[in-house]
Amino acid sequence: MLNAAFMVVGSVVFAVLQKGAGLSVPMSFVLLGVASLLVAIIIGRTMPASWMNDFLSIVFRAFFQLEVKGLENIDKAGSKTIIALNHVSFLDPPLATAVLPKRPVFAIDVAMSKHWWIQPVLKVMRTMALDPLKPFSVRDIINAVRDGDTLVIFPEGRITVTGSLMKVYDGVGLIADKSDAMVVPVRIEGPEATIFSRLKRSQVRRRWFPKITVTILEPVKLNVDPELKGRKRRQAAGAALYTIMSDLIFRTTSTDRTVVEAMIDAAKVHGPNWLAIEDPVSGQMTYKRLLQATAVLGAKLKPLALEGRSLGVMLPTSNGAVVTLLAVMSAGRVPAMINFTAGAANILAACRAADLDTILTSRAFVEKGRLDALVEELGKQVRIVYLEDIVAPQHAGECGAGRGPHRFRPRRQIVQRAAGVPLFRPAGRHGAAAGFRRLDLSLSVAAALPHGAGTGVRRLRHRAVRHRYVPQRLCPRGESL
């Protein structure tokens, strides 16, 4: 209705100007453009949505293939809401503006707000300075949340330089505690690969327009003991917020995959020529070389054990050990790491616990480590297989090696296991006499757990987490990664 009214009035005005004032055609187009701009601004102000939100949303969806998951969880938080995001790049504030349904208030560090290049941003976004040294600034933010403003805050306080979750400051937890607000944890993935992050080129492969994914979880309330006061309450609030952010990282990390699948995903993200592993003896290996070696060795290891059974691996920390572990997994067998310093009796006890009768090792490792006596003792009860005998030079051309670059596709098998690798821990202090027990914890789940999450592991065993470990086979295909 308003748009139609402007069109009718504008047509009448221009007709009068052209006939009465003798307005030229070029000047008519200039005035028409200025009037259209003014009308667009007036109409934009009358719309319920923010023009900035719509503009940023279009930009991120067009160039970064923005994907938002769980947007409905924001409405579940109620009137007092704090949006807690992980901080990976300078694109995070405009990204949050594009995702959120209504215009939020950003809590920005007072030192950051003084930079000249951020001043234009502060004029178009609602911000509140957060100064840990001034309690009144924190009080203003708390009152804003109580009044119904949606607060966007980055608990880490700075952009990550490691790619993972950094320290969460207690002051942010205090704001959530004092305002009695619901905390909506949000994870941002993708901008860390852009030039706007603080990760080094050795940490991530730079891309102009990587895919960005924003995952919004259900709102939660800070769990702080009501008996705590003062500094202890502040520290408890910070710890509770860190638990929320740690759980965010864990729940949004893919754990329903094997180590081989994770390696293939990493090769797709970083590129086939990106450095994967390195040791001082054999040098560097790219993802492409690593996956090719895994495919070759994996095919050779299949006859050594039935599918789903365990194979012992007794190798030093080296590229060869990594390739062997991945090869055993890709062949559908479960690798069991053997600690050669434990002694023959303890190693044999571990082999009986893992129900394995074959150990993979290397002649070069046995000779340089002077392990002939250990290997001879182990050979009386288990079979010792040397990698030099498996991958002979005359067989190097098999399984796709030497035929140029290949693409490897993981193929799921029938075997279902609870853990990718059997881990053993002594049940007592007396070695083999006390026996061993098996820990059914997936490696993908363990990798997703944040640092110091020992209690999280115990809690995990009571949660309905689906460990779908399925051994993989790497099948070479006729195209590069």
- Pair 176, 222: CB distance under 8 Å: yes
Sequence-distant (6+) residues with CB within 8 A of 54 are: none
Largest separation between any pair of C-alpha atoms in the chain: 112
CA distances from 356 to 53, 292, 308, 349 (A): 60, 27, 11, 10
Task: Give the burial string for 386-412 (b: 16+ CB within 10 Å, else e).
Answer: ebeebbeeeeeeebbbeeeebbbebee
**How many CA atoms lie less than 13 Å away from 436 in the CB half-sphere?**
19
Amino acid (one-letter) located at 11: S
In the residue annotation, 270 being an active-site residue is answered as no
Q: Which two tokens stand for residue 167?
A: 């320290």
Catalytic residue among 87, 395, 430, 462: 87
H helices within 381-434, ranges in order?
Answer: 387-390
Nearest-10 Cα torsion for 98, 103, 105, 106 = 10
- Pair 138, 130: CB distance under 8 Å: yes
- The length of the chain in residues reads 481
**How many CA atoms lie less than 13 Å away from 302 in the CB half-sphere?**
14
C-beta atoms surrounding 20 within 10 Å = 8
Residues designated catalytic: 87
